């Protein structure tokens, strides 16, 4: 896992900030993205983590 402790400025994550990203053999998980939502990626099928699958049934 990698990440940085950030404090929102005017309700926004500062530019250049990072958010936690947990990676397993099957997936990548972002508990809170810069936009405030959770994200989940199927790393086996989406190596560049471009397609957020959070909420899709039957996924990892």
Rg (CA), the chain: 12
* More confident call, 51 vs 31: 51
What is residue 40's predicted lDDT score, i.e. its pLDDT? 92
- The Cα angle at residue 21 between residues 55 and 59, in degrees rounded to 5: 30
pLDDT digits over 29-43, tens only?
A: 888 777 778 899 998
Residues with Cβ within 8 Å of 1's Cβ and at least 6 positions away in sequence, in order, are 20, 21, 22, 23
What is residue 9's predicted lDDT score, i.e. its pLDDT? 67
pTM of the full structure: 0.63
Longest dimension (CA), the chain: 37
Question: CA 1, CA 14: separation in Å to the nearest integer?
Answer: 20
Average pLDDT over residues 45-49: 89
């Amino acid at each position: 896992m990698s990440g940085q402790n950030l404090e929102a400025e005017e309700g926004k994550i500062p530019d250049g900030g990072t958010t936690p990203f947990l990676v397993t053999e099957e997936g990548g998980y972002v508990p809170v993205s810069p936009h405030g939502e959770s994200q989940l990626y199927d790393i086996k099928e989406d190596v560049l983590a471009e397609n957020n699958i959070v909420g899709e049934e039957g996924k990892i």
